[in-house]
Chain A
Amino acid sequence: MTATAEQLDIAPLSTEEAGSQYLTFTVAGETYGVDILRVQEIRGWEPVTRIPNAHDCVRGVLNLRGAIVPVYDLRLMLELDWVDYSAETVVVIIKVRQRDSEKHVGVIVDAVSDVINENDIEISSSPSFGEHIKTEFIASLATARAGAMVMLLDADRLPIAGANSSDEDHQADE
């Protein structure tokens, strides 16, 4: 996976402007956040159309007012255990920029929780956890006023982390 990200040669993290807000949501009890300006909309979970032979964390595609948008499961991207989707499960549609083009992707999270101001949190850089824990799309860690930790996601890296269909499958066929 890491190799894929390097191959795609993506521009370095964009620095968030001062005074921005973050939408936070929970996955497996932890709080994650993403720049609110990147959030297009939040939808309740509805079954999606599976993409054959795609990576597990790609749940499928949905119809966003005529556009075909892929949906990634953040739990699976973080290699957490699978849980059944509930009434609280939502899909956050996020705008990501990749090589001059803007894409939309959906990210399945357990529940949305809050909107926080940047002034209310203290951002520190993301520590490295070594190879076995996926951190490539976590831009930084932040501490909220209440003392809870919020992991801020780098939206632009989400689709790369949930890389497109695994190439190995059909290369074997050739």
Chain B
Amino acid sequence: MSIDMAQFHQVFFEESFEGLDIMESGLLDMDPGAVDSEQINAIFRAAHSIKGGAGTFGFADISGFTHTMETLLDEMRDGRREITTDAVDVLLKSVDVLRDMLTAAQDGGEVDQANVDTQSAELKRVLDSRPGQEAPAAVSDGESETVSEATSAPVIGWHVVFRPHAHLMRTGNDPLRLLKEFRDLGDTSVSCDIGGIPEFHEYEPEDACLSWDIHLHEAVDKYQVQEIFDWVEDDCDLAIMEIHDESAPAEATPAASEAPSPAPAPAAESKPDLKLADPPPERRAGVDRRKPSKPAANTSAGSIRVDVPKIDSLINMVGELVITQSMLSMLGEDFDMQDVPKLLEGLAQLERHTRELQESVMQVRMMPISFTFSRFPRLVRDLSSKLNKKIELKMIGESTEVDKTVIEKIGDPLVHLVRNSLDHGIELPEVRAAAGKPETGTVVLNAYHKGGNIVIEIKDDGKGLDGDFLFNKAVSKGLLKEDDVLTQQQKYELIFMAGFSTAEQISDVSGRGVGMDVVRKNINELGGSIEIESELGVGTSIVIRLPLTLAILDGQVVRVGDETYIVPLVSIIESIQVRPEMINLVGGKGEAFKLRDEYLPIVRMHEVFDVSAEHVEELTEGLLVIVEAEGRKCGLFVDDLLGQHQVVIKSLEENYGNVEGVSGATILGDGSVALILDITGVIRLSGARQDDFRLPRSA
């Protein structure tokens, strides 16, 4: 039976990367000295799954490397080794190396072998570092041959009776592989019981009908024997008995037969599930929705794990929809005017179900922001030791759900902001102590939902931004003129300008002056905004607002001439009709109007978009939609407002290209296409310079 193993590689890599994340976060949480066995078990399981998978798929170097890590972890798990900061550090670095190796294996790239070798040597150093440990020398070729201290009588080997259930091979396990693993443990004699083979006409070639008696003449730990059967213990009858020195197998203790596993075995059997290892418990709730990856699959396309309840609710919803549909079609077959109320009711139902279905489908794409946040503990730990700062990271609202696309794109900007907080924000412990602050600085990452947006705050209690310093810096770099007058807020926003870096010393952490402008650009691309609040000496808080999803947008439909456009509702502050006395002409040309206590430029949409059809010329006859983008406000002059809709965003770039002032398109109820305005682009197009202050081109 030959299976093309390559088709499972993608699944293996995905699972391995998830395993690495589990290991990493577990290691970071690990408190030297105090062992939480469940935690260390989780790390161990992750390592074990990677090792097993790598072995099965023939990535020998990965499984070998993971094996060394696993040995170390195992000693920690059994309490035979103390958990030291040193060991944790080495393990963390090993996780990195392992990630590199997996990435290289996935992309078919080259592994930095020197790096791997150094790290393996490092791991071995830690393993060997305990003189009390008995013979951990043979790490390179196999298990550490520690004699079990648990049993009183000297154990010289193991007698294992292994009777696979008939379906064993269909679960993707191969008895031969298990037996081979025994040979790695030491001198093994195996006898096979062929009594289970049925008559030829009853024979099912895919059934496992052999069973084995295995004698292992090597005093290994019991867990090492059990470990071999980790994946199959639900799918076989297993008895592991000790062989004692007196060569008296009489007092054999049946140990792990029918391990008390809560896994719903019968249910699992019916599915042709090719899972190689039990997922760690925290992921049990998830169901795999991955397709078998095609050879040339784009790795970035990836897959989503979706909770079963979400899928269930989707299926329910579709069921309802089908019922409504059949009701409507029955109604239509023999329609009578008397049925109109029924029809209307049916249509209302249809609308409700469609909307619910839409919401549920959106839910599928939603993932907790912890996917992004999870990398920060490591980052903070590494950076704070590099910078000699004491920093505590607090994360709030990790379970806040965001669209997958947002998760993917927000990662790098967030990393940059957190780095900035660590590098520029938090002061050195001495400085903090002198300023009367606790030595340990705090960085808070907070995510929450607010009015259809997700808000992410990065708050530190560092030194805060110095507006005047920023201003002088900008002047000295020639980005601003000395007589420019800026509000405090505008001074803070200087950090988003390209080519602006305040770090006195350029480190490899930050200070190259590329970044903040990119951060802002990325966030704007996601349709979000970024704001800074800061107080000198007290701290800085950066607030990012992002739309919950990128696929749907609340839009105001406006008419310009005979054309309709969609203005994103989030950008709209208000819509007003102007009176003649509100309008001023700046420099005889630029139109501005006074709204309460500020002057705003007027952007005539028909001019910006060159609308030739008949349109309203007189400002007082049309409407002004006051919009805000990137901190700049202006009034868009349109003929009329038509209504508000939720619109599905369609890409213009897919078949055409980028259009200045337009962020995308959508299809209206009548099937026609309407363009969605990109307010920033429209303002830029209009060349509106009437702003009191305008940052030199940063976007």
Does B580 have its Cβ within 8 Å of any Cβ on chain A?
A: no
Smallest CB separation, B297 vs chain A (Å): 15
Would you call B655 and A63 a contact (CB within 8 A)?
no
- Give the size of the chain A interface in residues (CB under 8 angstroms): 27
Does B498 have its Cβ within 8 Å of any Cβ on chain A?
A: no
The residues of B that contact A115 with a CB separation of less than 8 Å are none
Contact mask for chain B residues 629-664; partner A; CB cutoff 8 A; 1 contact, 0 none:
000000000000000000000111011111111100
Choose from A61, A62, A66, A164 the contact partner of B658 (Cβ within 8 Å).
A164
Does B610 have its Cβ within 8 Å of any Cβ on chain A?
A: yes
Would you call A49 and B674 a contact (CB within 8 A)?
yes
* Cα-based distance from A50 to B548 in the complex (angstroms): 30
Would you call A68 and B665 a contact (CB within 8 A)?
yes
Choose from A52, A54, A103 the contact partner of B608 (Cβ within 8 Å).
A52
Does B685 have its Cβ within 8 Å of any Cβ on chain A?
A: yes
Smallest CB separation, A167 vs chain B (Å): 9
* Cα-based distance from A68 to B671 in the complex (angstroms): 11
Does B111 have its Cβ within 8 Å of any Cβ on chain A?
A: no
The residues of A that contact B685 with a CB separation of less than 8 Å are 53, 170, 173
Would you call B673 and A63 a contact (CB within 8 A)?
yes
Smallest CB separation, A77 vs chain B (Å): 15
Chain A, interface SS category: mixed
Would you call B656 and A61 a contact (CB within 8 A)?
yes
Give chain A interface residues in 14-45, CB to chain B under 8 Å: none
Choose from A49, A61, A63, A105 the contact partner of B563 (Cβ within 8 Å).
A49
Does B609 have its Cβ within 8 Å of any Cβ on chain A?
A: yes
* Cα-based distance from A70 to B655 in the complex (angstroms): 7
Would you call A54 and B659 a contact (CB within 8 A)?
yes
Does A144 have its Cβ within 8 Å of any Cβ on chain B?
A: no
Does A104 have its Cβ within 8 Å of any Cβ on chain B?
A: yes
* Cα-based distance from A105 to B652 in the complex (angstroms): 12
Give chain A interface residues in 47-88, CB to chain B under 8 Å: 47-54, 60-63, 66-70
Smallest CB separation, B657 vs chain A (Å): 4
Does B291 have its Cβ within 8 Å of any Cβ on chain A?
A: no
Smallest CB separation, A44 vs chain B (Å): 14
Smallest CB separation, B352 vs chain A (Å): 22
- Give the size of the chain B interface in residues (CB under 8 angstroms): 29
Does A2 have its Cβ within 8 Å of any Cβ on chain B?
A: no
Does B130 have its Cβ within 8 Å of any Cβ on chain A?
A: no
Does A124 have its Cβ within 8 Å of any Cβ on chain B?
A: no
Does B687 have its Cβ within 8 Å of any Cβ on chain A?
A: yes
Would you call A68 and B660 a contact (CB within 8 A)?
no
Does B684 have its Cβ within 8 Å of any Cβ on chain A?
A: yes
Does B386 have its Cβ within 8 Å of any Cβ on chain A?
A: no
Would you call B667 and A165 a contact (CB within 8 A)?
no
A68/B659 contact (C-beta < 8 A), A49-B672, A173-B684 known:
no
Would you call A174 and B655 a contact (CB within 8 A)?
no
Smallest CB separation, A155 vs chain B (Å): 13
Would you call B673 and A61 a contact (CB within 8 A)?
yes
The residues of B that contact A54 with a CB separation of less than 8 Å are 659
* Cα-based distance from A31 to B667 in the complex (angstroms): 34
Contact mask for chain A residues 74-110; partner B; CB cutoff 8 A; 1 contact, 0 none:
0000000000000000000000000000011100000
Would you call A53 and B671 a contact (CB within 8 A)?
no
Would you call B657 and A61 a contact (CB within 8 A)?
no
Smallest CB separation, A130 vs chain B (Å): 29
Would you call B674 and A170 a contact (CB within 8 A)?
no
Give chain A interface residues in 155-174, CB to chain B under 8 Å: 159, 164-165, 169-170, 173-174
Would you call B673 and A62 a contact (CB within 8 A)?
yes
Choose from A50, A51, A103, A164 the contact partner of B654 (Cβ within 8 Å).
A103
The residues of A that contact B684 with a CB separation of less than 8 Å are 170, 173-174
A69/B655 contact (C-beta < 8 A), A49-B675, A62-B673, A63-B672 known:
yes
The residues of A that contact B686 with a CB separation of less than 8 Å are 173
* Cα-based distance from A70 to B656 in the complex (angstroms): 6
Does B201 have its Cβ within 8 Å of any Cβ on chain A?
A: no
The residues of B that contact A159 with a CB separation of less than 8 Å are 656
Smallest CB separation, B240 vs chain A (Å): 56
Chain B residue with minimal CB distance to A165?
B659
Would you call B697 and A174 a contact (CB within 8 A)?
yes
Chain B residue with minimal CB distance to A163?
B657
Would you call B671 and A63 a contact (CB within 8 A)?
yes
* Cα-based distance from A63 to B648 in the complex (angstroms): 13
The residues of A that contact B672 with a CB separation of less than 8 Å are 47, 49, 63
Chain B residue with minimal CB distance to A174?
B697
Would you call A105 and B655 a contact (CB within 8 A)?
yes
Smallest CB separation, B679 vs chain A (Å): 14
Choose from B659, B662, B673, B687 the contact partner of A48 (Cβ within 8 Å).
B673
Choose from A63, A105, A169 the contact partner of B667 (Cβ within 8 Å).
A63
A52/B659 contact (C-beta < 8 A), A61-B665, A67-B654, A173-B684 known:
yes
Would you call A173 and B687 a contact (CB within 8 A)?
yes
Smallest CB separation, A43 vs chain B (Å): 13
Interface residues of A (CB under 8 A from B): 47-54, 60-63, 66-70, 103-105, 159, 164-165, 169-170, 173-174
Top-10 shortest CB links A-B: A52-B609, A164-B657, A49-B673, A70-B656, A173-B687, A68-B665, A103-B655, A68-B650, A63-B667, A61-B673
